[in-house]
Structure 1
Amino acid sequence: MESTDLYYPKELSWLAFNERVLQEAADKNNPAVERIRFLGIYSNNLDEFFRVRVADVKRQIVIAHNAGNDEEAEHQRRLLVQIQRKVVELSKKFDTIHKEVVKTLARYNIYILPKHQLDEYQREWVRNYFINKVLRHIAPILIDKKTDLLSRLNGTAVYLYVALRREGKN
């Protein structure tokens, strides 16, 4: 028996924990507002999981491959496949629960609307909120071939990458 057969991978254990958070969101005994909070917690947890745990598994694949340890690289690839399968399964559950909770909230006149459903007053309110509260936290970073991204980026921040091109140029 290989030593890897003696334990349940921490990444899959972590996904099982987050599935438990999703179960709380599905529990109709919890108030609808609490259920939407559990969905938010689940989503934030999953973001961190990919940022930390999945990134680590991918690094382990590269390290093992570069060290010539094909067995370990393959083990990590199989783990990545297991993670992907579980995340797809949980994402389907999330979508189902989210739709149900949104319907429940609507019964209490609480609506979660996509942008295209906002009226003019709501669009103006969101625009002003963005300008007055969000915009000051946005800072452009010019990236070129010489930019050392590892030293420039913070692992806990959110980034939006935008590529600008001149018309007619690649």
Structure 2
Amino acid sequence: MPIDNWTARARGGPAKREHALEMGADVVLDHTDPGWTERIPEALGGDGLDVVFESIGGASVGRLLDTMTPGTGRVLFYGVLDGEPAITPMDLLRRGLTLVGCGGMTDWAERVRAARADALAMAADGRVRPRIDSVLPLADAAEAHRRIENRAAVGKIILMP
């Protein structure tokens, strides 16, 4: 099963899982379910994960290391929502995994600027369509933030003046 058609994370309940399936995911596992990592090999037909895009940090990535393809698996680390990842170089070395850090605000900003025109063109001709969760008055900004913090939004929240 191609890794780009597989989604291992859909936090936020049934609406987000359903949305991921509607968008073409073959399998959706909820990382808030205690035993979700045990279902990864079955979901991949016995294969390991080739790439993990890690934005959570903390203990999150450590739970995935044993589900990764030994010798060639890669962790692309780009966020620390729950703090520094709780893994060591030895955790990677024992499994032959590679950790790649994706960061650097200057480089990221330059890439965004370079891609902006193409992204806007794709949106204008319908090749890319954002999912709009809700449109709220600016006075409800606090509610919008609560929905985002609680991971209740399925798509973008637009605040209107």
TM-score, length of structure 1 as denominator length: 0.29
Higher normalized strand content (fraction of residues):
2
Relative CO higher for 1 or 2, CA cutoff 8 Å, sep ≥ 6? 1
Query: Hey, which of these two has a bigger chunk of helix by percent?
Result: 1
Q: Give 1 or 2 for the bigger CA radius of gyration.
A: 1
